Structure 1
Amino acid sequence: MSKLNQTLLGMWIISLAVLVFVVMNLDNESEIHVVEGQMNHTVENATNNTSKAPTQVAEPEIVIEPEPEPEPVNKKETVRLAMIGDVLLHYRLAQYKDFTSSFASVAPLMQSYDYLIANQESPPVGNKYALSGYPQFSSPPHILRDIQQAGVDLVTIANNHTVDKGEGGVRTFFENLDAQNMPYVGAYKNQEDKNVHRIIELGSIKIGMLAYTYGTNGLYLPKGSPFIINYIDESRIKADVEAIRNEVDVLAVSMHWGSEYVYGENDYQRHYAKVLNDAGADIVFGTHPHVLQPYKKWVSEAQHETHVFYSLGNFFSTILTVPNSMIGGIASMEITKEGDNVTIGSPRLDATSVLKDADGIYRVYPLKDVEARSVKNLEWVKKVVGSEVSVY
């Protein structure tokens, strides 16, 4: 055989061997695969892999659901707003060097309310004007200190004795209020002072406060005076209520009105009670008659409720010619706020009595503790203020 034929035969045998090899390894062909990122794979890798690679199963995606927002919790808050009647120091009281003893027995009760207002009727200007009683009063300034220590948080100074000592007396009044850091309402240093709304904040509850008087005994501030006295006027009241109403949850108003020494309200008081009710006031505390008068609840056509204590009587005063003027009371209303809902209710009167003790000092007592000594008892008070009020 020639070398050429031998070469061709050898090549044919090699080709046949390769063909046989390929046929025998067709079942392993699926084992040759390309993994992304690898560039070199050899037949050796395929021939050495005698078992199928395990199938890769993608891990399931874990979805974390956000926790639901908690339902808003409406915090419930309840406070009691209260006011005492006239603090009117006749000359025998104006001479006291300290009033702590006079309020000692009633101070725990005064401090039990969340906020307490007083009608400081006699001007505390005795540091610049001679002490005096009726008809034009000048009281010692330390009455402010002592009622504050006893529990009073704010005084209304819109009453018929505010201008007893003229413009200078009004100026001194404000100086002494500032010296004692005593908040006030009803008379103002100037228009800027009046424009500052008196808003009492007790927790989340906001209480607005206004005050007015029927007059000032024919005495008036001179023209050009910066001082302002809030006189009862229908258009003024409506404007003042409108200005503050949307800023507060509750609006309380002190009204110095009514007939002296009369145990029932008059037409003037009823008219302005309706004005206040229609305007949007919630609570009205009345002063000036020097004796107790009834409580009434007014409901407007729009179903707005206004709680009216027509007169709180005297808190600390000695009108000896009218013995029943020694009986007064601390009137209060309970205010509850839950979310945006505000309710006002539970009218209450804690009756008080002014008595002269054996040492000659006049003191204020809770009436329930001294009924045997007082000119009137709790049953009499209940008849005057009415059955809608809880009397203690």
Structure 2
Amino acid sequence: MTYTATISAVGDILLHNSVYEDASIGNQQYDFTKMFREVKPYLESADITVANSESIIGGKELGLSSYPQFNSPFEIGDALKDSGVDVVNMANNHTLDRGERAILNATNYWNQIGIIYVGCAATEEESKIIKTITKNHITFSFLGYTYGTNGISAPPGKDYLVNYINLEKMKEDIQRAKEISDVVVVNVHMGNEYERQFNDFQDEIAQHLADYGADIVFAHHPHVLQPAKWYTGEKGNQTFVIHSLGNFLSGQDRLYTRIGAILQLDVKKTVTYDEFGKEHSTIEVMDPQLLPTYVKFQRWRNYEILPLYSVTNDELQNAQGIYEEIKSHMMQYMPEITFIEWEPVQ
């Protein structure tokens, strides 16, 4: 007996002031949904979609802020929910930008709108919980970790607020996750900003995660796309790793920081029974597909996320050439990646 489910992921949701000012509809209210309109069908097409919530959604009561210490309006959460996002990673270098209050506001709001968050916890008790989603008889668990928080420490006695990269803890968490789920998905925030190739540290951490038994690794922090690669764990297991999903929505204006991607994977669960009637299952992660995306805007206004393959030369000089270069870049270690180019039904 076999079951299949699809999981997709996008990179950084990083709201610089130009982005949330563009979303303003007056009276301190915000609407980001128009920015996601062109990519919403692709996000909704998967059974589960994961995003990296890079700028904390502490809400306007704390005062909205941009680089270097971010705080975003709750309404970006509404737009992600409306676009089909099911899980957000909160563990990144900006998690503690606005302190414990922003984390509590954010976790409360994610709970309120029904989006699972990982990498952060409001209480010590919650920090011990492995969060899961079951789709099509396949249970996925989700974990999140960051290399650091820009030198800002959690309040004394509250280290549970954010998860850091710690091999012993990651190994223990993955082992606990494997006991209650079929597929372990790890979000990890690391690497060098704006570098398009992953470094030795990223490679080393990815190999450890494969050795510990993670099935899928979604990585971020560089703000540009870095290639995907299969890793073979010490037990012969195959782990899919994409080293950076880049920016999905941000106010950064360099070419490669405006290019992100929607990654989609198929997961197949095969169930068999032995002579004693005991159930055995195997998991296969397969058919990696990528939809490169482009953040279009003019003069810091009219932000919109577009499929890169549909972008014209009027919107981006040499658009097709850039698209082909991105495809080659992302296929370096995984030539079997296919690229999504279907037009949504209107």
Contact 1:155 1:182 (8 Å CA) reproduced: yes
**Pair 1:226–1:284, CA change in 2 (3 A):** closer
Matching residue within 355, 374, 377 for 2:316: 374
User: Unaligned regions of 5+ residues in structure 1, if any?
Assistant: 1-73
Q: Which residue of 1 aligns with 2:198?
A: 265
Contact 1:94 1:133 (8 Å CA) reproduced: no
Q: Secondary structure at the match of 1:236?
A: helix
Q: Which residue of 1 aligns with 2:222?
A: 289
1:112 aligns with 2:45: yes
1:352 aligns with 2:284: no
- Counterpart of 1:390, as a letter, is T
Q: Which residue of 2 aligns with 1:385?
A: 330
Shift of 1:154: 1.1
- Cα distance in 2 for partners of 1:154, 1:300 equals 26
**Pair 1:110–1:357, CA change in 2 (3 A):** farther
Question: Map of 1:157-236 to 2, 5 A cutoff?
Answer: 157-225=90-158, 227-236=160-169
Shift of 1:220: 1.2
Matching residue within 156, 167, 170 for 2:89: 156
Q: Which residue of 2 aligns with 1:25?
A: none
Matching residue within 233, 253, 256 for 1:300: 233
- Counterpart of 2:304, as a letter, is R
Deviations 1:8-42 (A, max 9, x none): xxxxxxxxxxxxxxxxxxxxxxxxxxxxxxxxxxx
Question: Map of 1:57-68 to 2, 5 A cutoff?
Answer: none
Contact 1:367 1:374 (8 Å CA) reproduced: no
**Pair 1:359–1:156, CA change in 2 (3 A):** closer
Q: Which residue of 2 aligns with 1:79?
A: 5
- Cα distance in 2 for partners of 1:364, 1:197 equals 32
- Cα distance in 1 for partners of 2:323, 2:246 equals 14
Contact 1:295 1:388 (8 Å CA) reproduced: no
Count of matched residue pairs: 317
Q: Which residue of 2 aligns with 1:29?
A: none
- Counterpart of 2:316, as a letter, is S
TM-score, L = length of structure 2? 0.88
- Cα distance in 1 for partners of 2:184, 2:299 equals 43
Q: Secondary structure at the match of 1:311?
A: strand
Shift of 1:378: 2.3
Deviations 1:158-203 (A, max 9, x none): 1111110012222222222233232111101122112221111002
- Cα distance in 2 for partners of 1:196, 1:190 equals 10
Shift of 1:323: 2.1
- Cα distance in 1 for partners of 2:156, 2:329 equals 42
Q: Which has the higher strand share?
A: 2
Question: Map of 1:234-245 to 2, 5 A cutoff?
Answer: 234-245=167-178
- Cα distance in 1 for partners of 2:233, 2:50 equals 26
Q: Which residue of 2 aligns with 1:126?
A: 59
Shift of 1:300: 2.6
Q: Which residue of 2 aligns with 1:331?
A: 263
- Cα distance in 1 for partners of 2:183, 2:92 equals 23
User: Unaligned regions of 5+ residues in structure 2, if any?
Assistant: 24-29, 272-280, 341-346
**Pair 1:359–1:225, CA change in 2 (3 A):** closer
TM-score, L = length of structure 1? 0.78
- Cα distance in 2 for partners of 1:256, 1:163 equals 14
Which structure has the larger Rg over C-alpha atoms? Answer: 1
Aligned-residue CA RMSD (Å): 1.7
Question: Map of 1:7-46 to 2, 5 A cutoff?
Answer: none
The runs of at least 4 consecutive aligned structure 1 residues that moved more than 4 Å come to none
Shift of 1:228: 2.2
Deviations 1:121-175 (A, max 9, x none): 1011132221111100111110001111011111110111111001222222222
- Cα distance in 2 for partners of 1:356, 1:312 equals 20
- Cα distance in 2 for partners of 1:177, 1:204 equals 25
